């Protein structure tokens, strides 16, 4: 068990959010959060010891056992409170962006950047908006931000909820196809 305070760890909230969406195993949680399996295992153990998540041993299909995780009421309340707090911050960020207040945005990013991957993962912040904001400030995305933003921009943010049933990447398949170019019937579109 680590000495991490859950309320100060975006990765703990990301794992908690994944469990609340029905990701019940370490493998599935690691896949949707893009965290390593050992890190997910440590976080899940923290969440269990802090009585936010319940681990239940289940018999697996091949005769062994596996542990499945579910979020309890306390964990759900903590997650909801944090999401509401981040939602207010996201609204403030959008207002600064719309008003061209780059100093306020820069200050926020300097002090709170660690929460951005959770905001992207949870759908609190739109990935395309985030990428546009980073471009406006001339900042590069961190690997965690890039991973979450890339999935959300590709239409995979809803895939986390659907991955439980088929094990596949449900969000990527539901988007449909080629978004670029296309045959528009050969008409004249004004010099394209």
Q: Does residue 176 form part of some domain?
A: no
| 171-176: average pLDDT | 39
Residues 64 and 44 in one domain: yes
CATH number for the domain including 24?
A: 1.10.10.10
Question: How buried is residue 183: exposed, middle or buried, by Cβ count under 10 Å (0-12/13-18/19+)?
Answer: exposed
- Domain finish residue from 74, 96, 116: 74
Residue 182 pLDDT grade (very low, low, confident, very high; cuts 50, 70, 90): very low
Q: Does residue 14 form part of some domain?
A: yes
Q: What is the tally of structural domains in the chain?
A: 2
Does residue 49 contact residue 64 with C-beta atoms inside 8 Å?
no
Q: In whole angstroms, what is the distance from residue 185 CA to residue 112 CA?
A: 49
Q: Does residue 99 form part of some domain?
A: yes
Residue 134 pLDDT grade (very low, low, confident, very high; cuts 50, 70, 90): confident
Q: Does residue 1 form part of some domain?
A: no
Residues 58 and 92 in one domain: no
Residues 46 and 113 in one domain: no
pLDDT at 162 over 60: no
Residues 134 and 96 in one domain: yes
Residues 103 and 152 in one domain: yes
What integer pLDDT is reported at residue 77 of this predicted model? 96
Q: Which two tokens stand for residue 38?
A: 């050992």
Element (H, E) at 71: strand 65-71
- Domain finish residue from 74, 102, 131: 74
Query: Hunting for tokens 């703990």 — which residue is that?
Result: 12
Spell out the alpha helix ranges (H) of the chain.
10-20, 26-33, 37-49, 73-98, 102-112, 116-121, 127-137, 143-153, 159-166, 170-174
Q: Which two tokens stand for residue 182?
A: 């296309």
Has this prediction a pTM greater than 0.85?
no
What integer pLDDT is reported at residue 39 of this predicted model? 96
Higher pLDDT, 10 or 182: 10
Q: How many CB atoms lie within 10 A of CB 165?
A: 9
- Domain finish residue from 21, 47, 74: 74
Residues 163 and 86 in one domain: yes
Residues 68 and 86 in one domain: no
Q: Does residue 152 form part of some domain?
A: yes
pLDDT in tens, 91-115: 999 999 999 898 999 999 889 889 9
Q: Does residue 155 form part of some domain?
A: yes
Residue 24 pLDDT grade (very low, low, confident, very high; cuts 50, 70, 90): very high
| 135-154: average pLDDT | 76
Length of the chain: 192
Q: Does residue 187 form part of some domain?
A: no
What integer pLDDT is reported at residue 138 of this predicted model? 84
Q: Supply the range of the domain harboring residue 24.
A: 6-74
């Amino acid at each position: 068990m680590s000495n991490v305070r859950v309320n100060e760890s975006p990765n703990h909230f990301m794992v908690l959010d994944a469990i609340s969406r029905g990701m019940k195993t370490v493998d599935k949680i690691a896949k949707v959060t893009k965290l390593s399996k050992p890190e997910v295992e440590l976080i899940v153990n923290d969440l269990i010891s802090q009585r936010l998540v319940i681990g239940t041993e289940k018999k697996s299909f091949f005769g062994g056992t596996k542990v499945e995780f579910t979020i309890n009421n306390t964990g759900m309340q903590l997650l909801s409170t944090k999401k509401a707090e981040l939602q207010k911050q996201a609204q403030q960020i959008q207002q600064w962006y719309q008003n061209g207040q780059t100093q306020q945005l820069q200050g926020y990013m300097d002090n709170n950047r660690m929460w951005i991957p959770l905001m992207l993962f949870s759908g609190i912040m739109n990935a395309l908006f985030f990428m546009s904001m980073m471009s406006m400030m001339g900042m590069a995305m961190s690997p965690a931000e890039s991973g979450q933003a890339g999935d959300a921009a590709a239409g995979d943010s809803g895939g986390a909820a659907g991955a439980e049933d088929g094990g596949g990447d449900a969000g990527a398949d539901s988007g449909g196809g080629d978004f670029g170019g296309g045959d528009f019937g050969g008409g004249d579109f004004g010099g394209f």
